[in-house]
Structure 1
Amino acid sequence: MALLKANKLTMQFGGLTAVSDFSIEIGDNDLFGLIGPNGAGKTTVFNMLTGVYAPTKGEITFDNKNITGLKPYEITHGGVARTFQNVRLFKELSVIDNVKISFNHEKSATLVESIIRLPKFFSSEDEIEKEAYELLKVFNLHEKANELAKNLPYGEQRRLEIARALGAKPKLLLLDEPAAGMNPQETTELMELITWVRNHFKIAILLIEHDMKLVMGICENIVVLNYGEILAVGTPDQVKNNPEVIKAYLGEEA
């Protein structure tokens, strides 16, 4: 049984079709890559899967529930979290506060208990603080817990964004170009981190990435988009040896 199933998703903007008949099935603990030339529709797919866009056509099922057209926060609460191509942290907040935000939907204290500061409110806050700190330890960011997020080096900001997404305790994590702006050493470390996150948290991961070394090095299956349509699906070896994929990327016959 697929954890995520997208069936013939189509996204139109006026007369422009950005994505056409996109289908994918992702199982528990899968590590999937989504690649394609610039403008192929990759981020549009992510936006449909996470509720930023309601697809013009098609259906999305997650964990046996139809999530087509749900709001982003509803999809997040249901078990899907994401990062963005451009780092989107609360840069004026501390590192730990960025992570604590993702735990807000789990607060056990009611609004009234929070307003008048009843013991249950402080108990809830303490629990979230502890969980957030433990998550930062996993990403080796705990020693900077009280620093402002904007003061972290770029690679650490990327790690913090992944940590924050994991604070929502997803079953599926979507990573939008996690290696963007990283140097080769940071990219290698990220490859190891993504694989470790999948195995440690026992979640499925779908990632968009232009760095072919990263995609081919860690993904078990890859979907190739071109002009909004699926060009190929398969293992890294199958994809990199596909003549149509080579043509799309190199602009010439294999």
Structure 2
Amino acid sequence: MTQAKVCFIGAGNMTRSIISGLVKNGYPSELVHATNPSQPKLDALSADFGILVSNDNIQAAKDADVIVLSVKPQLMQQVCESMQTLDLSNKLVITIAAGIPASRYQQYFNQPIKLIRTMPNTPTQIGYGMTGIFADNSITEAHKAICQTLMESGGKVIWVEKESELNQVIALAGSSPAYFFLFIESMIETGKRMGMDEAKARALAEQAALGAAQMVIQNQDLSLATLRNNVTSKGGTTAQAVETFEKGGLRELVDSAMSNCVAKAEEMAKTF
């Protein structure tokens, strides 16, 4: 990655995870700057990674080559409008906010900008994230490389050809860790109801989830149906459980949940 000066506007968990990955991979901490209204998160970032920190968005952005917008969608307009006096013509702007279309940022900043939209998920915090990225034809390969390096510091990335595909990324990756948490949580609760100690139930469920994910990752030549069938002996215990899920409409429920997730993202695009 080009040794660019990177400024993070906002110092939440996602900012921390990206910075952690960058510094651990050898990126110079003196080229990384984070801003935030309150001081505790900044102090922690400075102590843990040796980066520059401040409360001054404008000065930090002015000094940066790359500006990463890491604030909540409902605060994005206010934050961007406060930086309208800056000349952003030679800077790359990266946003990790859900729902806000690229064209809206041009309005917020009141000037043409080079913008890349990204959609990371929370496992980015531990290096197992998945990030969807969109850039239009005005973005150079050099800028794409910078963005990819930033987001790969927290896991894997996938580029989408259409901005609208980021909504599918949200449903498939951005929001989906919560789906799995809910499923594992439900398994543990049932285990407890059946008489299992909570710690043992959690250990069993979480390791099974980890193992299943690794089976998928390490067997790319096998379909999910084949992997499932390999566990499911005819007339056995697994078959009984899977049949119960199928009769209960699990596939339809997943389809409905993900469709509603996409619909919400589309609604947000109209709101902000």
**Shorter-chain TM band:** under 0.3
More helix by share: 2
Normalising by structure 2, we get a TM-score of: 0.23
Higher relative contact order (CA 8 A, sep 6+): 1
* Bigger Rg, structure 1 or 2: 2
